[in-house]
A and B are shown apart, each in its own frame.
Chain A
Amino acid sequence: DSGVTQTPKHLITATGQRVTLRCSPRSGDLSVYWYQQSLDQGLQFLIQYYNGEERAKGNILERFSAQQFPDLHSELNLSSLELGDSALYFCASDRAPDSNQPQHFGDGTRLSIL
């Protein structure tokens, strides 16, 4: 058990819809990362938050957004969903970006767009 909790585990929805994925980091971790794993793109970094502030952006679509709340949990919002958004979405956490500690990953949320 990595200590990173992601909900829900599975999500099935239709094109055009909007969903929210939730992540609770390990106790003591201030930094949260979101990654997408798809057949086309492999595992790629989407966005990072540190202590409530956006720290870095990767290949995140404009239809996607995220935030980190005062209790440090994070949500990834995906809107106007397309078939190509079907993927496994991972959240990871570490103490801080410069903590030199490895990221630990949650079990992921599998999103299926019908």
Chain B
Amino acid sequence: AQKVTQAQTEISVVEKEDVTLDCVYETRDTTYYLFWYKQPPSGELVFLIRRNSFDEQNEISGRYSWNFQKSTSSFNFTITASQVVDSAVYFCALSEAGGANNLFFGTGTRLTVIP
């Protein structure tokens, strides 16, 4: 069965601090995709990144970076030099190739960046 665990329910940091959001997943499939979505206070879900299970290269996009480690079934997300606009709920999600492509979401981590 598929499962995504985001153990951190809420995190508060002071602006300009770095913060890492943890994500651990479970799946029996060998081919799968991992995602991060951002949900700002306005409520919409914003796509941030997708990784497939065969690509363990870390990715950096501006202040955002992602660390994918199959050995620990983790796909962690780091925000460098956090800003107030980063305050949101962040969701990690999993989909399995060969299935319907629907997403299994974690419970989310609420990040508050304090000015």
Contact = CB atoms under 8 A, between A and B. Distances in A.
Tell me if chain B binds chain A.
Answer: yes
A62 interface: no
B64 to A, nearest CB: 15
A7 interface: no
Interface stretch (A11-19, A63-71, A72-80, A102-110): A102-110
B34 to A, nearest CB: 11
Given A42-B107, A43-B91, A43-B108, A94 B44 contact: no
A42 B105 contact: yes
Contacts, number: 61
B99 interface: yes
B55 to A, nearest CB: 12
Interface string B44-62: 1111001010000000000
For chain A, give the interface size range. Answer: 20 to 34
Given A42-B108, A43-B105, A102-B35, A56 B100 contact: yes
Interface string B81-115: 00000000001000001111111111110000000
Interface residues of B, number: 23
Nearest to B93: A43
B91 A33 contact: no
B41 interface: no
A34 to B, nearest CB: 10
Nearest to B49: A102
Interchain residue pairs A-B with the least CB separation, the first 6:
A56-B100, A43-B105, A105-B45, A97-B101, A45-B102, A102-B50
7 contacts: A2-B44, A42-B107, A43-B103, A88-B43, A106-B44, A107-B44, A108-B45
Given A43-B105, A90-B45, 14 more contacts: A2-B44, A35-B103, A42-B107, A42-B108, A43-B108, A45-B103, A56-B100, A92-B45, A98-B101, A102-B50, A103-B101, A105-B46, A106-B44, A108-B45
